[in-house]
A and B are shown apart, each in its own frame.
Chain A
Amino acid sequence: MNEFERRLLDIVQTSEWIASVARPNAKIVNIDYYNYNIGPQGTATMSGIAVGAAGSGIIQIQADSDFAIAYMSGSVVVAGAAVANPVSTIQITDTGTGKTFFSAPTLFGLVMGSGGLPFYLPAPRVVAPNTNLQINVTNVAGAGAADYYINLLGARIYYAG
């Protein structure tokens, strides 16, 4: 561990934000910015979703760290152009706990940011290691078949042992 990493670890270990998401009585050994994402590339079920149709995909959280989500962002692309206000809904389900992020599928722009600005979560959402997050989208009333890009931004938290 170099000096920069050691100082960073000192800071995050005393951060209130990290304290709120850290495992009780566990030692943090590293923390990294990370962006788990899913998009049409390599995920056919998030690509070319026709109007009125639904798509889904899986984001797999790595086994080596917790993931604390701080921001979410996304984009809907129709015919090669990003849609400013897509009439699409999204739901995210933590398949490990069975809990959803939203009480019902929610309009894309209300929870995924807009205009390049991400949605800043009022409180962090922690996902356990080795967990699948299921993303469900529905092209409710788009201008045409849509591609979906979803980003979950936050920190990977590594623990000793």
Chain B
Amino acid sequence: MNDVVTRGPLKLPRTKWPQDTLRVPEGYGRMPLIGARNDLLVGQEYFCNSGTVQIPAFNQAQIILNMPVGNDGDFWLTNICVVTVTGNVIDQGNDIVVSLTDSLTGYNVFSPYIHVNTLFTPLQGSRINWNEPYCFPRRSSMLFGITRLSLVNFNSDIYIACQGWKEYSNAVQ
């Protein structure tokens, strides 16, 4: 590994997360045990998980947006930015609720939905930090459930950017 990413750690508070103690039953779906821990941390660096999906016109059903975390490190989420693009123009006011689930642990980060105008920021110039970061372990996915509450007659592309940092560690198997 390049030495640039083997530095740190940042002076980040250690928080107990549900996935610290959760264990996927061995052999279940051929999934590995979750073993990445902060005490084996070997490096951190900024990273952004991002994705986009289209919300069709006249659609009020939930749409799933899947953002895989990847195999090389855990992803710590600090804040999320969301905008929609309608008719080639960015629209920052949206009547959309979003759920977020960690696919590996099944943990729902929101209870059960939040409105995009209440916790997400439309653009980074008006950034909000969450009070605590949330860790999505390696090999997991961030599953967004996106629901537009209003019945509208146009398609919109929703762009979601999850800000945080990638954390590389020696996984315990």
Q: Which residues of A contact B (CB under 8 A)?
A: 16, 19-24, 66, 69, 85, 87, 96-97, 101-107, 109-117, 119-128, 140-141
Contacts and interface: CB of A to CB of B under 8 A. Distances in A.
B4 A128 contact: yes
Contacts of B68: 103
Contacts, number: 132
A123 B6 contact: no
Interface in B56-72: 67-68, 70
B3 A97 contact: no
B7 A101 contact: no
B116 interface: no
Secondary structure call for the A interface: mixed
Interface of B: 2-11, 44-52, 67-68, 70, 76, 78-79, 81, 83, 85, 88-90, 92, 123-127, 129, 133, 159, 161, 163-165
Nearest to A121: B46
Contacts of B45: 123-126
Given A87-B90, A113-B125, A123-B44, A20 B50 contact: no
Contacts of A121: 46, 163
Given A122-B46, A124-B46, A128-B4, 9 more contacts: A20-B7, A85-B90, A87-B85, A87-B89, A97-B2, A109-B83, A117-B125, A122-B78, A128-B2
Given A123-B164, A125-B46, A20 B2 contact: no
A125 B67 CA distance: 21
A120 B78 CA distance: 12
Shortest Cβ-Cβ A-B pairs, 7 listed: A114-B125, A123-B165, A141-B88, A110-B161, A85-B90, A117-B125, A125-B46
Contacts of A119: 124-125, 127
Given A109-B90, A110-B81, A126 B48 contact: no
Contact of A24 (B6, B163, B164): B6
Contacts of A107: 50, 52, 83, 85, 90, 159, 161
B11 A20 contact: yes
Nearest to A97: B2
B121 to A, nearest CB: 9
B161 A66 contact: no
Given A23-B7, A85-B123, A101-B47, A110 B159 contact: yes
A103 B48 contact: yes
